[in-house]
């Protein structure tokens, strides 16, 4: 198939690229835009290592065509930190030793962020089901679930403090 010209936004920056119509968003991110944070663990949507968001919706970049992101907002793990400030999830993953080899970590961070954005106070079960699309083979998920829990707690305390300051 012929190349498709695509204009889109990735991590807040305007980006243009040309890719074959059949090329996945994951290949576009990794091979054309140099964003190798999203990983290919399976290529079939079964491991979640390529998780990114498109218009706020969590997706597997391997199951989406590059051509589909025309005019959309793509967010990847590379856009998670604000300048030199790590996102609380990123910090909690380090502090809780929630990664060993780290290959699944970008996908988990994106999925965990999507969870906390829609449910700021998830139970352990809600966390486990929300992260079920992300495979980790090193940790047994124990410290990952704890890191997400700790982040939720941290963010809710922050919100309370901010709220009381406003008052």
Partner 1 sequence: MANAKGSAFLLAGGTDLLVRMKSGAIDPELIVDIKRIPATQAITKTASGFKIGAGVPCAQLGRDAALVKAWPGVVEAANLIGSDQVQGRCTVAGNLCNASPAADSVPAMVAARAKAAIVGAGGRRSVAVEKVVTGPGRTSLEKGEFIEAIVLPTPAPKSGDAYLRFTPRTEMDIAVCSAAVNLTLGPKGVVTAARVVLGAVAPTVVLVPAAAKAIIGSTLDDDALANLAAACEAACAPIDDKRGTVEFRTEVAGVLARRAAKLAYERAGGK
Partner 2 sequence: MTLDTQFTDQKFKLVGSRPDRPDGVDKVTGRARYGADASAPGQLVGAILRSPHAHAKIKKIDTSKAEKLKGVKAVITSADLPDLTNGNRGNYDILENCMARGRALYDGHAVAAVAAIDAETARRALSLISVDYKVLPHVTDVDAAMRSNAPIVQPHVRTAGGEPSDKPTNIAQISTFGHGDVEAGFAKADKIVEKSYKTEQTHQGYIEPHACLATVGPDGQGELWVTTQGHYTFRNLCASLLGMDIAKLKVTSSEIGGGFGGKTHVWMEPLALALSRKANRPVKLVMSREDVFRASGPTSSTSMDIKIGCTNDGRITAATATLRYQDGAFPGIWGMLGAMTAFACYDLENVQSVGYDVLVNRPKVAAYRAPSAPMAAFGVESTIDLLAAELNMDAVEFRLLNAAKEGTKASYGPTYGPIGIGPTLEAVKNHPHMHAPLGKNQGRGMACGFWFNFGGQTCTDLNIGVDGTVNMTVGTVDVGGARASLSLIAAEELGIPYEHVKCNIGDTASLGHNDTTEGSRGTFSSGMATIFAARNAIEELKSRAAKTWDIDPEEVDWVDGEAVAKGVEHSNLGPLSLAQIAKASPNTGGPIAGHSETVADGAGVSFASHICDVEVDPETGSTRVVRYTVVQDAGKAIHPDYVEGQFQGGAAQGIGWALNEEYIYGEDGRLQNPGFLDYRIPVCSDLPFIDTEILEIPNPNHPYGIRGVGETSIVPPLAAIANAVSNAAGVRMDHIPMSPPRIRKAIKAEAAMHQEVSAG
Q: Least distance to partner 2 from the beta carbon of 1, Å?
A: 10
80 binds, among partner 1, partner 2, none (CB under 5 to 8 A by kind): partner 2
At 163, which helix (H) or strand (E)? Answer: helix 142-166
64 binds, among partner 2, partner 1, none (CB under 5 to 8 A by kind): partner 1
* Residue span binding partner 2 (CB under 8 A) among the ranges 63-71, 75-83, 113-121, 156-164: 75-83
List CB contacts of 85: < 8 A, sequence separation 6 or more.
none
Give whichever of 70 and 121 is closer to partner 1, judged by the CB atom. Answer: 70
Is 114 a binder of partner 1 (CB under 8 A)? yes
Instruction: Count the Cβ atoms, other than its own, within 10 Å of residue 66.
Output: 26
Query: Could you give the CA distance from residue 164 to residue 167 in angstroms, rounded to a whole number?
Result: 5
User: Residue 128 in contact with residue 160, Cβ under 8 Å?
Assistant: no
**Sheet order of strands, 57-60 included:** 13-20, 3-10, 73-75, 51-54, 57-60
Query: Could you give the CA distance from residue 11 to residue 53 in angstroms, rounded to a whole number?
Result: 10
Binding site for partner 2 (CB under 8 A): 20, 27, 30, 35-44, 46-47, 49, 76-78, 80-81, 86, 90-91, 93-97, 99-106, 109, 125, 127-129, 131-146
Binding site for partner 1 (CB under 8 A): 1, 21-22, 24, 43-46, 48, 51, 57-60, 62-65, 67-68, 111, 114-115, 129-130, 132-134
């Amino acid at each position: 198939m012929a190349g498709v010209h695509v204009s889109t936004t990735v991590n807040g920056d305007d980006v243009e690229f040309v890719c074959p119509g059949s090329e996945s968003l994951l290949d576009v991110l990794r091979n054309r835009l140099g964003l190798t944070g999203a990983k290919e663990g399976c290529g079939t949507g079964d491991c979640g290592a390529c998780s990114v968001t498109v218009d706020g919706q969590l997706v597997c970049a391997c199951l989406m065509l590059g051509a589909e992101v025309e005019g959309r907002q793509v967010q990847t793990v590379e856009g998670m930190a604000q300048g030199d400030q790590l996102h609380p999830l990123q910090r909690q993953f380090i502090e809780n030793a929630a990664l060993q080899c780290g290959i699944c970590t970008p996908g988990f961070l994106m999925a965990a962020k999507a969870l906390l954005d829609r449910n700021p106070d998830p139970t352990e079960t809600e966390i486990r089901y929300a992260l079920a699309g992300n495979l980790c083979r090193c940790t047994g998920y124990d410290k990952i679930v704890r890191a997400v829990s700790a982040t939720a707690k941290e963010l809710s305390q922050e919100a309370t403090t901010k709220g009381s300051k406003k008052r």
